[in-house]
Amino acid sequence: ALQDEGADTVEANEALGFAIDARNYQQCAEILFDLGLCHVRVISNNPDKLKALEEAGLQVVERVPIEVEAEAAAAHYLRIKKEKLGHFLG
């Protein structure tokens, strides 16, 4: 696998011709609208997730950060998320 050869998640997805993050939040927004919600607090460090929910018509009134102590095995993965994907990480 590309990651076994040293590629990070972003590099591996790009090399395979995949979107960096192929998730779609439209259905999430539709479910929230069906429940009568249009203003949400989002627990996430992912700016693209916030943007997608706002583009779907939800009003994000607050972002609640996820604060974790990274173990050595996850530190590289989280650094890539911060540096290449703009995640809000300390």
Q: Which amino acid is at 25?
A: Y
Active site residue 21: yes
E strands along 1-90, which residues?
39-43, 59-64
Answer yes or no: are the C-beta atoms of 76 and 8 closer than 8 Å: yes
Of 8, 21, 63, 79, the active-site residue reads 21
What gap in Å lies between CA 23 and CA 32, rounded to an integer? Answer: 17
23 is catalytic: yes
Q: Which residues are catalytic?
A: 21, 23
